[in-house]
Chain A
């Protein structure tokens, strides 16, 4: 069975032109693989480059060197060298990403924010909204909030909307950047259940989690990012 994610010698450096061209090495020599149904947790102190690794895999950050192989639609694609529209296709069909913060679009109701990935994949309005609603209910977002834009929600509510949006579509890869950071115990437990269900469905996950209990519950393997520290 092929790995869903496979990084070999990936490397990332920022060059800050506005600060006299300072080079900020972030990570180098990142090599890791994630198999279907496996949840790999990235560990390391803050600033070690954990989020940068996720962003390189999702394509927010460009990869300077090395390779990022993704199993996408029965083929392997190197995202480090992919065209923009290939990366978009990978995001539509293969990789989901749950970030810490919701980048809300003004005026779009929460239920549509959550269902949007299904709409993009061609789902009907009714079906998309009904699936989005049941996930929001599970994450304890009261129904009276569904028709409101999440920009007015609390931090924890926004995060749960973001989690629902990330977990709703059936994508084979999920990247999780502190999905439980501002949640209470009850909602943390829901997220752990969701991750367990995804695993059972064969989804490959790469996660950053600071909460020891959550990490314990979800991690099949831990990869220490400090091993990839880029010597300045």
Chain B
């Protein structure tokens, strides 16, 4: 009964069951299971080589698991195994219902076309065809991510690193996805630029009620953005729970090491 009360009876948005990935004898991920609900932000933390990026690729249907499966509740309310989706259905998810924010904005943007076109392109992909409306929507999204709208016709290659990352976020959110994957979204940015981006992501996620899965090695990012956290080591989840609980009261030795290695802020 309590369960039902908590999320108004809604089913999880994403379910991972016994996910694993092996490359020959190398085990990249082993036996990972969790439920993600609408509006929840899950952080996956761990050092390089812990398997967190492999996991993110499996969750976002870019990599086929060797074991287990990922299911997703589609907009029609039906929960489907990602492996059972056809290519067209998967592309549809990527264009509309999902966002993917890459660490390197150059991977998620088209660097040589204008900022307005970068945002508008996602709208055109879902059938928008009225130029004026596309441009208006793109303009309002540039404002939301704090990009000076006089730069709308400039290509992102003329932008700073922080602006590129904010543009990538606008491009991803313009179609109002329900789930956003983020791979080290603040990696490679100056500390002051990171703070601005984190604050922006935090407010957008809560205003839009987005679910997000954020891969990061930075515990401060996890603390600011996420509700829940999974700590990975050697391809396995070694500790998981409420973010402040895991960070304030870590039980596993490795998590205690990670937490105690953070420089005081």
Contacts and interface: CB of A to CB of B under 8 A. Distances in A.
Do A and B assemble together?
yes
A124 B248 CA distance: 32
B249 A18 contact: no
B78 interface: no
B80 interface: no
Q: Give the most central of B37, B228, B257: most A CB within 10 Å.
A: B228
Contact of A18 (B199, B251, B260): B260
Contacts of A144: none
Interface string A50-91: 000001000111100000000001010100000111111100
A107 interface: yes
B242 A87 contact: yes
A204 B244 CA distance: 24
B256 interface: yes
Interface residues of B, number: 29
Contacts, number: 68
B202 A60 contact: no
A88 B199 CA distance: 20
Q: Is the interface of B mostly helix, strand, loop or mixed?
A: helix
A1 interface: no
A108 B198 CA distance: 11
A62 B228 CA distance: 14
Range class of the A interface residue count: 20 to 34
A60 B253 contact: no
Contact of A107 (B5, B37, B199): B199
11 contacts: A16-B256, A17-B252, A18-B253, A60-B248, A62-B245, A85-B227, A87-B242, A105-B202, A107-B195, A107-B199, A119-B206
Interface of B: 1-3, 5-7, 37, 40, 195-196, 198-199, 202, 206, 224, 227-228, 241-242, 244-245, 248-249, 251-253, 256-257, 260
Interface of A: 14-18, 55, 59-62, 73, 75, 77, 83-89, 105-108, 119-120
